[in-house]
Structure 1
Amino acid sequence: MKFLAKIVLTTALFSGVAQAGLVVIVNPSGPDTLSKSQVSKLYLGKSKRLPSGEKVKVFERANGSAERQAFHAAITGKSESQLQAYWSRLIFTGKGKPPKILGSASLIKNQVAANSAAIGYIDEADVDGSVKVLFKL
């Protein structure tokens, strides 16, 4: 039993480390701030525009990735299966389209850097001057 408790504790510690490094990024000419609620609405398709009025391009990590799971746990409060059900329902009814999925942090960073109305999330270690950090999870 003690062995199982150590495994659970170790897993919790490492998953916390992975979460601590994620940051929400935008283009340097994008908004200076967005609230957690605003980011959640963008990632759930409830809002389609930045505060400036520009139509936003939302970029997402691949299904099942640790970054995606940590991001949605912290921002939208949804699990992978809840997200899948949520988007399936919106797509079926024609009321929404999920964020564009990109396979790596570098792809997300490059797309956000190239588009003034884009948002994404990456590990803080991948941030450089081509993007602006809105906040750290």
Structure 2
Amino acid sequence: MEVLDKKGLINLFMGKYSAFPNGKQATPIDIEVEAKLKAEFYQALVGLPPARVNAYWSRLKFSGRVKPPEIELTIDDVKQRLEEDESALAYVYESYVTDKMKVVYRFD
């Protein structure tokens, strides 16, 4: 996976697609305890606060056709997952990026 455009990122995090453009499985991940980071991410991604994103997923879960992002409890859990699982896709502050991770999108 090289890079994603914003539309591709939206499609993965909002459940429209479950694979990267190259066809490999994608596993979007939300961070449970980093409320500020999650709020900043979804505001930049789709212009919605987490409460509205959660409501969106509550409606879609009943259809059974789409799966919301997986939840990791801490930023350290996300960091480990990103380093070990090439299907993992998550948002982190740039200071958390390591050489074992691939940055696929940056917000301006």
Q: Using structure 2 for the length normalisation, give the TM-score.
A: 0.89
Q: Quick check: 2:29–2:89 contact (8 Å CA) kept in 1?
A: yes
Aligned partner (choices 94, 97, 104) of residue 127 of structure 1: 97
Question: Structure 1, unaligned stretches of length 5 or more?
Answer: 1-30
What amino acid is aligned across from residue 19 of structure 2 in structure 1? R
Range that drifts further, 118-127 or 102-111: 102-111
Q: Is the contact between residue 64 and residue 80 of structure 1 (CA under 8 Å) also seen in structure 2?
A: no
Is the contact made by 2:33 and 2:74 (CA closer than 8 Å) also made in structure 1?
no
Which SS does the other structure have where 2:81 is aligned? helix
Greater length-normalized contact order (CA 8 Å, ≥ 6 residues apart): 1
Partner of 2:40: 70
CA contact (8 A) 1:57 1:119 kept: yes
Q: Which runs of 5+ in 2 are unaligned?
A: none
Q: How many residue pairs get matched? A: 107
Bigger share in helix? 1
- Identify which of 72, 76, 79 aligns with 1:102: 72
The Cα shift of 1:76 comes to 2.0
Counterpart in the other structure of 2:20: 50
Shift in Å, 1:107: 1.2
In 2: Cα distance, 1:121 partner to 1:107 partner? 12
TM-score by length of 1: 0.72
Structure index of larger Rg: 1
Q: Deviation at 1:49?
A: 0.5
> CA–CA distance in 1 between the matches of 2:79 and 2:34?
20
Find the counterpart in structure 2 of residue 79 from structure 1. Answer: 49
Any conservation in 2 of the 1:45–1:98 contact (CA below 8 Å)?
Answer: yes
Tell me the C-alpha RMSD between the 2 structures.
1.5
- Please identify runs of 4+ aligned residues in structure 1 that moved more than 4 A: none
- What is the CA-CA distance between 1:63 and the residue it aligns to? 6.7
